[in-house]
Amino acid sequence: MREKELDAPAGLPAEGLIDRTTELAVIKQRVVEGLNEESAQRQHRLGKLTARERIERLLDPGSFTELEMLRRHRATDFGMDAKRPYTDGVLTGWGTVDGRKVFVYAHDFGIFGGSLGEAHAAKIHKVMDLAQSAGAPLIGLNDGAGARIQEGVMALAGYGGIFRRNVAASGVIPQISVMLGPCAGGAAYSPALTDFVLMVRRTASMYVTGPDVIKAVTGEEIGLEGLGGADVHAESGQATFVHDDEDDAFETLRWLLSYLPSNNREFPPAQAPADPVDRSCDRLLDIVPNSPNQPYDVRQVIEEIVDHGDFLELQQAWAGNVVIGLARIGGEVVGMVANQPMVLAGVLDIEASQKAARFIRFCDSFNIPLVTLVDVPGFLPGVDQERNGIIRNGAKLLYAYCEATVPRIQVLMRKAYGGAYIVMDSRSIGTDLSLAWPSNEVAVMGAEAATNVIHRRAIQNADDEQDTRRRLIEEYQRTLMHPYYGAERGLVDDVIDPRETRSAIHTGLQMLRSKRVTLPERKHGNSPL
């Protein structure tokens, strides 16, 4: 039986140091061997790895140092005293990924369904505390059934301790959650407090109340995948990445870590690029159409600008009208934020504002400069948007940019109208460098709408309405719809040849490397939530 295999040896300890050492080796060997064959096979049958296999796949070979492998629970009710397996269903410790230190915990579904009791929680608390003191990322490999039912309030309090630590570590060390099984209740809430959530299709799910409870309360019938599977959460914005299998998730996790500093006192790791920083971005002239209303994929713009075209896009399946992600320019890590004209014409709406705002705050916490590519027709008009809080949610984005003290560079590519121009890191809200392409048009609104407002009477009174409207639209365009109006007034620092975008950003980033901002003392701001 599984419990016996992982249980302490019966009887008195062996005598003498040699015998005791042999006994220790036997105990540790049993713990490392872990589950009985049947439990491991169950994991494999479901397309899942065991907790120990996961750690081995993720970390550099031989780098894992385990903490508290001999920990056992002290619960006695419901026959728990007869089942006291070592580890208590979670492996914790530290190791390296590509030579850099990380802390990790991994639920062992084979022990009480990976559920969290007092001892299990205490192990996670300890590894979280160590990660924060040592200033290294924390990675949770989640495959657990939430609060351990047999341990009642002790299990709930265990989760409270995790949530509190998640929040204390937020903005101090990167926290990453990998969802590898059914993660109920607290096992879903802790990941929600972390910076990135990776989910595996078919095996992983996240939900607060499970299908049985939902059926009992609301009568709705749904399976785990439909309720909180990877694709559901890719679209809800809960999952940063979704994957077909665990190895794919670990590969993306390693790629993600390559962009992140270990903590908020470090700069993100730079890499000497083989891609010349002064490379001319000729393709940009073909990618971005002349007409302000013609769609294109802004990801192609990003890939043309960044080193080797390598761009790690986050939350791809949610709020596609804004694109966010990590890349390097001249070897330096940057956070890219871009309107996506291919989706909803690139308007800002509630979800796009939420998506960009949280990313900006992440980058700001971890010293990652922000590059904002602007091509935005405005905020999405609509009763639905207004009633559901576009003001409050758009304000999140505004707030995030205004409080960011990392280097910030804005590139005005094509159009930038109204409040959306201001919000997309304009000079007036504190960007450090505003660069515009000659195709850029910044205005309160598009030419036609603006002319209809300011010249309504003149057009109505004109003998030839059509002709007068056309003439006035042209006048508006000549006066305002180009970057020189802003450049003359200092709101645009330079109008650049689009092909020089990469080198201009790089030059700006070099200049801003030593940027320092001193903030007045306060407990914290009050961002609209």
Active site residues: 185-186, 419-420
CB 336 within 8 A of CB 306: yes
Q: How far apart are CA 469 and CA 185, in angstroms?
A: 60
Between 160 and 381, whose beta carbon lies closer to ligand HXC?
160
CB of 28 to ligand HXC, least distance (A): 24
Question: What count of residues does the chain have?
Answer: 529
Number of residues located near ligand HXC, criterion CB under 6 A: 17
Q: How far apart are CA 153 and CA 412, in angstroms?
A: 54
CB 486 within 8 A of CB 492: yes
Q: How far apart are CA 165 and CA 159, in angstroms?
A: 10
CB of 299 to ligand HXC, least distance (A): 36
Between 184 and 324, whose beta carbon lies closer to ligand HXC?
184
CB of 110 to ligand HXC, least distance (A): 8
- Interaction between residue 229 and ligand HXC (CB under 6 A): no
Closest of 64, 82, 76 to residue 118, by C-alpha: 76
- Interaction between residue 34 and ligand HXC (CB under 6 A): no
**What is the x/- site pattern for ligand HXC, positions 181-220, by CB under 6 A?**
-x-xxx--x--------------------x----------
* Residues in a beta bridge with 409: 371, 433
- Interaction between residue 140 and ligand HXC (CB under 6 A): no
Please spell the DSSP secondary structure of 133-156, one letter per residue. HHT--EEEEE---SB-GGGHHHHH
**What is the x/- site pattern for ligand HXC, positions 144-183, by CB under 6 A?**
-xxxxxx-----x--x----------------------x-
Closest of 476, 445, 443 to residue 458, by C-alpha: 476
**What is the x/- site pattern for ligand HXC, positions 105-134, by CB under 6 A?**
-------xx-x-------------------
Between 18 and 82, whose beta carbon lies closer to ligand HXC?
82
Between 35 and 400, whose beta carbon lies closer to ligand HXC?
35
Q: How far apart are CA 255 and CA 308, in angstroms?
A: 14
CB of 287 to ligand HXC, least distance (A): 45
CB of 146 to ligand HXC, least distance (A): 3
389-415: burial string, b at 16+ Cβ within 10 Å, e else = ebeebbbbbbbbbbbbebbbbbbbbbb
Footprint of ligand HXC (CB under 6 A): 112-113, 115, 145-150, 156, 159, 182, 184-186, 189, 210
